[in-house]
Amino acid sequence: MPFLYSMLYVIAIGIASHFIGEALPRRFRYDRFPYRAWKWEREGRIYDKLRIRAWKDRVPDMSRICGDMVPKRLGRCPTSEEVYRLVQETCVAEIVHVGLCLCAPVIWLFWQSWIGVVLSAIFVICNLPFMMIQRYNRPTLVSLAKRLAAREERRGQRVAEK
How many distinct structural domains can be found in the chain?
1
User: Amino acid identity, residue 26?
Assistant: R
Does residue 66 belong to any structural domain of this protein? no
pLDDT of 3 over the 90 cut: no
Q: Would you say 85 and 25 are in contact if contact means Cβ atoms under 8 Å apart?
A: no
Give the tens place of pLDDT for each residue, 114-133: 888 999 999 999 999 999 99
Q: Would you say 96 and 21 are in contact if contact means Cβ atoms under 8 Å apart?
A: yes
Q: What is the 8-class DSSP label of residue 70?
A: P
Residue 145 is predicted with a pLDDT of 92
Give the contacts of 43 (CB within 8 A, at least 6 positions apart). Answer: 37, 139
Does residue 64 belong to any structural domain of this protein? no
Q: What is the 8-class DSSP label of residue 71?
A: P
Which is nearest to 22 in space by CA: 83, 104, 88, 102? 88
Does residue 128 belong to any structural domain of this protein? yes
C-alpha 11/C-alpha 13 separation (Å) is 6
For residue 34, whether the previous peptide bond is cis, meaning omega lies within 30 degrees of 0, is: yes
Q: Would you say 59 and 129 are in contact if contact means Cβ atoms under 8 Å apart?
A: yes
Whole domain around residue 27: which residue ranges?
2-33+46-58+81-161
Residue 157 is predicted with a pLDDT of 55
With vertex at residue 26, the alpha carbon angle to CA 141 and CA 137, rounded to the nearest 5 degrees, is 20
Residue 27 or 76, more confident: 27
Does residue 152 belong to any structural domain of this protein? yes
Residue 148 or 61, more confident: 148
pLDDT of 10 over the 70 cut: yes
Residue 13 is predicted with a pLDDT of 93
C-alpha 132/C-alpha 52 separation (Å) is 8
Q: Would you say 125 and 132 are in contact if contact means Cβ atoms under 8 Å apart?
A: no
pLDDT category at 158 given cuts 50, 70, 90 is low
Does residue 148 belong to any structural domain of this protein? yes
pLDDT category at 161 given cuts 50, 70, 90 is very low
Does residue 74 belong to any structural domain of this protein? no
Cβ-based neighbour number of residue 142 at 10 Å: 22
